[in-house]
Chain A
Amino acid sequence: MTMMTQLEAIRCGLSEEMRRDSSVFIIGEDVGLYGGVFGLTGPIWKEFGDDRVMDTPISELTIVGAGVGAAMLGLRPVVEIMFMDFITLAMDPIVNQAAKLRYMTGGKVKVPMVIRMLSGGGLSVSAQHSQSIEAWFAHIPGLKVVAPATAYDGKGLIKSAIRDDNTVIFIEHKLLYKTSDEVPDDDYTVPIGKADIKRVGKDISLITYSGMLPKALAAAHELSEEGIELEVIDLRTLRPLDSATIMESVRRTGKAIVLHEAPLSVGIGAEVSALIMEGAFDYLDAPVVRIAGKEVPSPYNDTLEAQIIPTVEQIVTAARKLRNGM
């Protein structure tokens, strides 16, 4: 095992897959010599060069669209889109092409592509560089959507995503890049579609993913000192959702909080909450509680921004209320 940051772990997973399979290549803006906005791909470019880590012009639509075409002919492109906000320029190749080709061709075509992008706020980078729009993709049949929250999951999931024969949207959170945990030295994968219980607890199921995991764990720690035991479920994959793990936990605890940074309305929390209603209604002691980002674009000013992202305090308060039956 090696202690590493999530950024290093994802890099490591990418490099290992590129060594293992010569059809894997990276394509995106400023991924080569510049090394990527946070330096993730720099060392990979050093190892593999321009042929396997390809710098492109600023042309998101065509970068992703070219990924679709290359994947149809058997390559395994890993497309990097920097900030998730820019993916809005490339929705056609994702939603109308990649997600649909396999189905429309009666299974004759595969699109084994990974699209990596950065989500989340907290860096004062304002409304066009801070969004969490994962729900857009999770709404589309034919897309897999993953959002790892740890280094371990980052490496294991990038490997699974690359090996998958279908398009995988791979969401990385800016603030998780510097968080560290133990990562195995040998080859391993984390299955797509499988949630992970990051902390076992008997009182309340707290279901979350991506950038909110550290806050969920901090809240769980704080609450355990006052005798409330949170079970923290990290979804890891947002489509397909691992409803079995959610259901098993909620049936045990009888209480559920769903937490994410993206705005509340029509978010992943709404889906998870509905699933619980359908699959564990008789076990619930109280309605499902949702905690989510506020329904506004991200403001530049940091104190304003801090107000729109869920806090540990909010989770703690919600959990206390739920426990006390209020």
Chain B
Amino acid sequence: MGKKSLSTEELVPLYKKMLEIRTLELLIKPLIREGLMRGFSHQSVGQEGVAVGVCSALSDRDYITSNHRGHGHVVAKGADLKRVMAELLGRATGCCGGKGGSMHIADPSLGILGANGIVGAGMPIAVGAALAVKKQGLDSVVACFFGDGAANEGSFHESLNLAAVWRLPVLFICENNLYGMSGPAKKMLPIKDIAIRAKGYGMPGIIGDGNDIEEVHKLTAEAIARAKSGRGPSLLEFKTYRWFGHSVNDAEAYRTREEVEEWKKLCPIHRLRDKLLTRGITQETIEHVESEANAAVEEALEYAKSSPKPEPEAAFRDVYA
């Protein structure tokens, strides 16, 4: 179970994790342009604080479900960068053998029950996973990542209710990045804070700064403690922002340049970096971590590029009916 607050030393690897995610995300556009990656892909640049903050409070025994913007979640939960990158490139060595791609990265052995192409689909799955945890008496929680847009799907409402009446160990993690694809939360929700919906489902609704990894960690750890002591689910809403378009093709007519620039000033990575420096971590250590993160992603990319494509028969494997 995660401690409520982390020491400065414990924050350093989280800084690295966030950098790995950002570096990986920054490769997506070029990879698509070069034709190495295909399909739809949604980057989480700007939201790394939520993914890493939440997962830093989870243990290896815990589970996550993710959404279409899932690269950060799965890497934060411990997915191997090499196998994630290979999946993005559709290679046989990818975590799904090249059959899932960007929207479907999963690794159940690490508690990653899967990213998802269907908005809102992860929530009922998280409820079921938590039911299994409870029935089997496991010492685990299930954290379920979804967006502000997904909070308007029926699955959100039904999942919160069921998780609450059955007192299941679920953490509903809403990444409120202010937009769906283009739909502004301001217009799509009649309320400012999604967390207040928790009241209607009899669970705590907590609001946090998603770009402050320490706060994300602390609030998550508290929710885990509640869940593990049998007090049921929580809804955690983290305010954050996606810096890039919804997917790689997005004219972003629904928001202003200025708004994006304002949020960039609240970069979760820079904020942690500043904190680490003021708390005595040396510039040298920081730079070392940065080059390690770069190298890890670089290595993952090389691994992916040199990996074989799936053999043709793979298309027909794993279908059972």
Determine whether the beta carbon of A303 is less than 8 Å from that of B38.
no
Pick from B38, B119, B188, B253: contact of A300, CB under 8 Å: B38
Determine whether the beta carbon of A59 is less than 8 Å from that of B39.
no
Determine whether the beta carbon of A30 is less than 8 Å from that of B182.
yes
Determine whether the beta carbon of A59 is less than 8 Å from that of B152.
yes
Given contacts A29-B180, A30-B182, A294-B315, contact A58 B100 (CB under 8 A): no
Determine whether the beta carbon of B319 is less than 8 Å from that of A300.
no
Determine whether the beta carbon of B40 is less than 8 Å from that of A304.
no
Determine whether the beta carbon of B118 is less than 8 Å from that of A124.
no
B204 in contact (CB, < 8 A): no
A86 in contact (CB, < 8 A): yes
Main secondary structure of the interface of A (DSSP, over half): loop
Q: A50-62: contact bitstring with B at CB < 8 Å (1 yes, 0 no)?
A: 0000011111111
Q: Smallest distance from the beta carbon of B27 to chain A beta carbons, Å?
A: 17
Q: Which of B40, B103, B315, B319 has the most CB of A within 10 A?
A: B315
Determine whether the beta carbon of A129 is less than 8 Å from that of B40.
yes
- Chain A minimum-CB-distance residue to B319: A296
Main secondary structure of the interface of B (DSSP, over half): loop
B90 in contact (CB, < 8 A): yes
Interface residues on B, range: 35 or more
Determine whether the beta carbon of A30 is less than 8 Å from that of B183.
yes
Roughly how many angstroms separate A30 CA and B119 CA in the complex, as a whole number?
Answer: 14
Within 8 A of B (CB), among A301-324: 301-305, 307-308
B78 in contact (CB, < 8 A): no
Determine whether the beta carbon of A128 is less than 8 Å from that of B103.
yes
Determine whether the beta carbon of A126 is less than 8 Å from that of B187.
no
Residues of A contacting B119 in the complex (Cβ-Cβ under 8 angstroms): 58, 86
Roughly how many angstroms separate A301 CA and B308 CA in the complex, as a whole number?
Answer: 12
Interface size on A, residues (CB 8 A): 35
Given contacts A57-B152, A58-B150, contact A300 B39 (CB under 8 A): yes
Determine whether the beta carbon of B153 is less than 8 Å from that of A128.
no
Determine whether the beta carbon of A125 is less than 8 Å from that of B40.
yes
Pick from B149, B152, B187, B315: contact of A299, CB under 8 Å: B315
B154 in contact (CB, < 8 A): yes
Roughly how many angstroms separate A128 CA and B67 CA in the complex, as a whole number?
Answer: 12
Determine whether the beta carbon of A294 is less than 8 Å from that of B154.
no
Roughly how many angstroms separate A56 CA and B119 CA in the complex, as a whole number?
Answer: 14
Given contacts A126-B101, A126-B104, contact A302 B118 (CB under 8 A): no
Chain A residues within CB distance 8 Å of chain B? 29-30, 33-34, 55-62, 85-86, 89, 123-129, 294-297, 299-305, 307-308
Chain B residues within CB distance 8 Å of chain A? 38-40, 87, 90-91, 96, 98-104, 116-120, 149-150, 152-154, 180-183, 187-189, 253-254, 309-310, 312, 314-316, 319
